[in-house]
A = this chain, B = another copy of it.
């Protein structure tokens, strides 16, 4: 995991526009938003999925970077005053605090464009048609029926009482779609796999995407501000429905373990090729930060 994280840091540093390249304030802010931070969960998933199809790590770097840039852009926009109004992210001032709001908006916009540019301008799949499909998967995962749509549902849910299925619907869009894209794009970098195997990976992705959110809610509930690097307990303070607020802490912890078991079950038929994905499922559920 440390290897992939270090590799991704170097890849992102290389693939982002250089700081001195004009408009340099924008490029510096894009680097600030993306580098030196985060667990790189989506790149880790892309690399682990690449093991299923024996994908070339150089292709995976680009694919994983594209997914991570979409994630990074969403954090920058999500932190803005008109959204969550957060001043800290990964222990550092958020982009609009360090720079300004207008720059932060453009940082997000430009990171999104860059994700699509990268995934087109490097050869990362065996043929161009497959690569075009990867771009489509990423665009759909980012858009109004994916991540951006999930954020809209989240906005509308603040202060209202969601049912558990509604909460799940929100998270499938808000975080699940991009996590699924990381897995699907990672696996597409390598040899073709069967429809049956894709289906299993889809099930894995769904379980792990939800588990990630459940664990986030648990951590948000009981972690201190210091260890989480963002204002703890903020979601519940803002009246946002969480798994903990809807089902209580013990049941939320149980649910995370159930989803972890589901994720492992989905990997069974893949044998050794799914080993790293299984390790990531454990990491996601057992992490403390």
Copy count, this protein chain: 2
A27 contact set on B, CB distance < 8 A = 144
A271 within 8 A of B: no
A237 within 8 A of B: no
A-B contact pairs, 11 of them (CB 8 A): A22-B149, A22-B153, A23-B149, A73-B109, A106-B151, A106-B155, A116-B138, A120-B132, A120-B139, A127-B128, A135-B135
The stretch from A36-44, A52-60, A75-83, A86-94 touching chain B is A75-83
Whether A136 touches B152, Cβ cut-off 8 Å, given contacts A82-B101, A143-B113, A144-B23, is no
A121 within 8 A of B: yes
Q: Mark A63-107, 1 if CB is under 8 A from B, else 0.
A: 000000000011001001011000000000000000011110110
Contact assessment for B152 and A103 in the assembled complex, using a CB-CB cutoff below 8 Å: yes
Q: Mark A130-149, 1 if CB is under 8 A from B, else 0.
A: 01110110111011111011
A26 contact set on B, CB distance < 8 A = 144, 148-149, 152
Partner of A142, one of B113, B120, B144, B155: B113
Contact assessment for A106 and B17 in the assembled complex, using a CB-CB cutoff below 8 Å: no
Contact assessment for A148 and B106 in the assembled complex, using a CB-CB cutoff below 8 Å: yes
Instruction: Select from chain B the residue with minimum beta-carbon distance to A133.
Output: B120
> In the assembled complex, how far is the CB of residue A174 from the closest CB belonging to chain B, in whole angstroms?
11
Contact assessment for B133 and A105 in the assembled complex, using a CB-CB cutoff below 8 Å: no
Contact assessment for B110 and A82 in the assembled complex, using a CB-CB cutoff below 8 Å: no
Instruction: Select from chain B the residue with minimum beta-carbon distance to A74.
Output: B109
> In the assembled complex, how far is the CB of residue A17 from the closest CB belonging to chain B, in whole angstroms?
6
Cα–Cα, bound, A28→B224 (Å): 40
Contact assessment for A121 and B109 in the assembled complex, using a CB-CB cutoff below 8 Å: no
A74 contact set on B, CB distance < 8 A = 109
Contact assessment for A116 and B103 in the assembled complex, using a CB-CB cutoff below 8 Å: no
> In the assembled complex, how far is the CB of residue A160 from the closest CB belonging to chain B, in whole angstroms?
13
A232 within 8 A of B: no
A196 within 8 A of B: no
Whether A80 touches B105, Cβ cut-off 8 Å, given contacts A23-B152, A110-B143, A136-B120, is yes
A17 contact set on B, CB distance < 8 A = 144-145
A163 within 8 A of B: no
> In the assembled complex, how far is the CB of residue A31 from the closest CB belonging to chain B, in whole angstroms?
11
A156 contact set on B, CB distance < 8 A = 23, 25
